[in-house]
Amino acid sequence: MTDQHSLQGDIRRVSYYNEETGFCVLQVHVAGWRDPVTLVGKTTAVQAGEQFQAKGRWIVDARYGRQFRADELQTFAPTTAEGMQRYLASGAIRGIGPKLAERMVALYGEKLLDILNQHPDLLLHVRGIGPKKLADIKEAWEQTRHVRRIMLFLYEHGVSTARAFRIYRRYGDQAIEKIRENPYRLADDIWGIGFKTADQLAQRLGIDPHSIQRAEAATLHILQQAAHNGHCALPRPILIQQVEQLTEIPESVIETALEGLLEQQRLIQDRLDDEVTLWLPRLHRAEWTIAHEIHRLQQTPQHPLKGIRVERALPWVQERLGITLADQQIEAVRQAVTQKVLVVTGGPGVGKTTIVRSIVEIFSAKGKTCVLAAPTGRAAKRLEETTGRPAKTIHRLLEFSPQDGGFRRGPEHPLQGDLFVLDETSMLDVSLAASFLRAVPAHACLVLVGDVDQLPSVGPGSVLADLIASQTVPVVRLTTIFRQSQQSRIVTAAHAINAGHEPPLEHPDAGLSDFYFIAADEPDQIADLIRELVTHRIPRRFGFDPRRDIQVLVPMNRSRLGAHQLNRELQTAINPQAEQTGIERFGWRFAVGDRVIQLENNYNRHVFNGDQGVIVELNRIDQVLTVDYEDRAVDYEFQALDELALAYALTVHKSQGSEYPCVVLPLHTQHYMLLQRNLLYTAVTRGKKLVVIVGSRNALRLAIRRAHSRRRYSALRDRLQRH
């Protein structure tokens, strides 16, 4: 049974295929065999109808029975009419479904492959194919050929083929030549490919492991990773040490590479707290831009409401809105109508929204144009709902242009408005903040609103914290919790956590509360409780819909209680038909009804990192999946689904700027590395009507106790003070 055998035939069904690893389970037909054979192996790409050749051995799997385990597996284009029909009907070519495949094969038979390759215009004779359909088929066929060529090239060099479609989209039919010329460009140009993958390919292509080229690529990779972790720069000794650890390249070579990158201006050297520090140019430029633009706004003396009588405006706006402002709120409104730049910060229930409404009402009454914005779609929508005024995301406000890769709005084409209110400012990284500030006209007033005690931005920098710490702009910190908010255990728990105290965990009476802690110590027990809470207990007791209203938030992606594992379990529980009706792509199964989240900014589709939606259509023939983002529907080609992930469970970082009717939060010591006070505080403040923490008291106490977040290397505070 262990002897090497050869097997060849045609593929009848693809039971499983993993784009990342190439692992597949196939049902194949072998000439002379009556029954289908299960074949297991690895290959670049595979479709039903293709032919195959395999070398391997027969095994008897304890669960699945007799199989052929291939050590070598190759697939080829089908040569028979039957194989061609099965191949096209399987969805191999976008736009061709089973019925059209049948008509194409009926007309051309075994010649169809040659016609697709050499004379595709003859397909116009097939019923159902007109000029537009023909153009789509020709494009899809050419794309398939080039992508498979790239996949084969990557596969032969031991690299995952999952990003071949992206590579083709970026480099076109010159992809392989460009990769051979500089494989490290993949890490810079292709989302989802990191330095390690590019480096593996470079080694296979014979690039010297101690070369300057490799040292430069590793240096840029380390700085990019640092940016993903919130840093704008790294001290030179730390950068050299990390490059050395990653590559084992001698320090002298790394130093030479650094000098070359500095000479090419691909790095910037500066000082931070008396340390020699290295920066990616775009982040160095962004910090200086923020400092310059804040200074520009403050140095333009003309306030849009110059001459306003504040002592009249304050009672007028309270009467107009039917409210009574507290002392801190009055001070915030006073500053906004007299200062050019103002920061308003505070936790939940302290009246930030009331301040925004009051400021906007006063400006509007004076005939001034008010512009409201937030970093994410959900945050902008919430701002719109609470103020009754239109609000946009920053990206939409600045009008990103995919053609030239930048924003249309800027110094030469500034935004129009007299008052700019930017909410959820804690989410701003230095790049987005710089782009926004460059577009604000000099005469305008700017009010930045946010909670500085939340997690800092996912991107590099700590813009809100640095603005406050610089003491260069007026800041109003709100601390008074209003009576209606005092009745919310969510609000009181959040403020207790932020102050370093354990919130009351016992529910005092028999009525319903909005904050619960359920003690559980074992990860499997916690996961079972979460599934039960989301699917039965919370909907039954509170009426929340598991698909729309309940959001599970977790500290991290990996682990038994990480977002990846919980998403799979919650998908099975909430959307069980996904197993039969969904498609498998990039490690996820996607089906109609699934909640998903966008993982990167895609300016062509106008969807951005953190946007959440629901899958409403899955078209296997056109190979398009449609996501409803509440305000619009967005189409994704199947090959581009690495931009999406399931969103039944999200990391707390991904939830920033969003609010949910109900939040369920698992806490366990296996989350040890990320258990921080600001993470717990951020998670609790995402819940609007109900928060349920499930986990161990030890993990809860540990998170509350660990108040000091890791330092972010950023010089923004210093630049603001020096400008």
pLDDT tens for 247-278 read 999 999 999 999 999 999 999 999 998 899 99
Q: Which residues contact 274 (CB under 8 A, 6 or more apart)?
A: none
Band of residue 77 on the pLDDT scale cut at 50, 70, 90: confident
pLDDT (0 to 100) of residue 604: 82
Mean pLDDT of 99-124: 93
Question: Between 708 and 130, whose confidence is greater?
Answer: 130
pLDDT at 1 exceeding the cut of 60: no
How far apart, in whole angstroms, are the C-alpha atoms of residue 328 and residue 238?
Answer: 44
Mean pLDDT of 684-702: 95
Among candidates 82, 19, 6, 12, which has minimal Cα distance to 47? 12
How far apart, in whole angstroms, are the C-alpha atoms of residue 523 and residue 668?
Answer: 7
C-alpha dist (Å) from residue 107 to 101, 103, 124, 558:
10, 6, 11, 52
SS3 at position 66: strand
pLDDT (0 to 100) of residue 510: 60
- Copy the structure tokens of residue 152: 């084969």
Handedness of CA 137, 138, 139, 143 (dihedral sign): positive
pLDDT digits (tens, 9 = 90+) for 280-315: 999 999 999 999 999 999 998 788 988 899 999 999
Q: Which residues contact 75 (CB under 8 A, 6 or more apart)?
A: 11, 43, 44, 45, 46, 47, 50, 51, 52
Band of residue 24 on the pLDDT scale cut at 50, 70, 90: very high
**Rg (the chain; Cα; Å):** 29
How far apart, in whole angstroms, are the C-alpha atoms of residue 239 and residue 635?
Answer: 41
pLDDT digits (tens, 9 = 90+) for 166-213: 899 889 889 999 999 999 999 988 888 889 999 999 999 999 999 999
pLDDT at 639 exceeding the cut of 90: no
Mean pLDDT of 450-471: 94
Work out the percent of the chain whose per-residue pLDDT is above 70.
98
Mean pLDDT of 601-623: 89
C-alpha dist (Å) from residue 205 to 158, 165, 202, 210, 219:
11, 21, 5, 14, 20
pLDDT at 219 exceeding the cut of 80: yes
- Which residues of 311-461 form beta strands (DSSP E)? 341-346, 370-374, 391-393, 400-401, 406-407, 419-422, 445-450
pLDDT (0 to 100) of residue 61: 87
pLDDT at 601 exceeding the cut of 90: no
Write down the mean pLDDT value for the chain.
92
pTM, entire model: 0.88
pLDDT at 485 exceeding the cut of 60: no
Least confident of 254-263, 397-406, 503-512, 545-554: 503-512
pLDDT (0 to 100) of residue 105: 94
pLDDT at 2 exceeding the cut of 60: no
